[in-house]
């Protein structure tokens, strides 16, 4: 009788840290970080990662598990093998760019939060896929959030339009706006005016600062 091999994936590590951004910013999490091209990677089987999560969560207290790093939803089979095997002991959060909306449905049984993080200058095609990810999360009864990372190129008009489109996709979307690092939010009324206009379009919008590394992780 043959047995299928446990799926595997390249991880940059399973560190403990504080979430840098989004709906659960500042929460202590156990990170499952998929490796980028320039990062040192270690291959984990689904069985090995399941064991590491069980060991880590039994030794220390965490708010949640964060699935993050480079393109985590390229590894949906691996993630399902991990979390279908044993019920997660704490909530599981996905933080990605929303470019693989079809991957949300297989994960709906164990995801507590699907967080889509995009730049305020994202191209229309990228934004459309990110919004479709929110739509599927809503249809799958998964709590969902849109995180918009802004910089000097981001216009208020583009942000408000994105918020309006997110509301049309799901009125239950939590929207988090992050100004760029070093932006003088304490000396510029732009942000209070922007938030006033934003909550006129969608009730759940907040403006917060990201936690910089090494304190903040994602």
In a domain, 172, yes or no: yes
Q: How far is CA 188 from CA 55, 88, 110, 217, in A?
A: 47, 43, 41, 27
Please classify residue 177 by burial: count the beta carbons closer than 10 Å to its beta carbon, then call 0-12 exposed, 13-18 middle and 19+ buried: buried
CATH number of residue 152's parent domain: 3.20.20.70
In a domain, 212, yes or no: no
In a domain, 125, yes or no: yes
Distance (Å, rounded) from C-alpha 191 to C-alpha 180? 12
Q: How far is CA 18 from CA 24, 30, 70, 210, 211, in A?
A: 9, 9, 18, 11, 8
Range of the domain at 166: 8-204
Report the predicted TM-score, pTM, of the whole model to 2 decimal places.
0.92
pLDDT of residue 208: 95
Give the DSSP letter of residue 81: H
* Residue-wise pLDDT tens digits, 155-165: 999 999 999 99
* Residue-wise pLDDT tens digits, 114-151: 999 999 999 999 999 999 999 999 999 999 999 999 99
In a domain, 159, yes or no: yes
């Amino acid at each position: 009788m043959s047995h299928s091999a446990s799926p595997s994936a390249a991880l940059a590590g399973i560190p403990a840290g504080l979430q840098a951004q989004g709906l659960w910013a500042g929460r202590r999490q156990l990170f499952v970080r998929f490796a980028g091209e320039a990062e040192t990677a270690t291959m984990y089987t689904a069985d090995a990662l399941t064991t590491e999560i069980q060991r880590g969560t039994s030794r220390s207290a965490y708010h949640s598990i964060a699935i993050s790093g480079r393109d985590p939803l390229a590894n949906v089979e691996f993630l399902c093998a991990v979390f279908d095997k044993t019920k997660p002991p704490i909530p599981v959060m996905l933080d990605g760019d929303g470019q693989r909306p079809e991957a949300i449905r297989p994960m709906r049984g164990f995801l507590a939060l699907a967080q889509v993080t995009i730049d305020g200058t994202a191209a229309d095609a990228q934004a459309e896929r990110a919004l479709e990810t929110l739509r599927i999360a809503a249809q799958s009864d998964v709590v969902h959030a849109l995180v918009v990372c802004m910089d000097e190129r981001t216009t208020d008009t583009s942000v408000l339009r994105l918020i309006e489109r997110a509301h049309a996709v799901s009125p239950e979307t939590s929207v988090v706006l992050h100004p760029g690092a070093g932006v003088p939010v304490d000396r510029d009324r732009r942000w209070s005016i922007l938030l006033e206009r934003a909550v006129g379009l969608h009730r759940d919008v907040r403006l917060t600062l990201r936690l910089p590394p090494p304190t903040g992780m994602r």
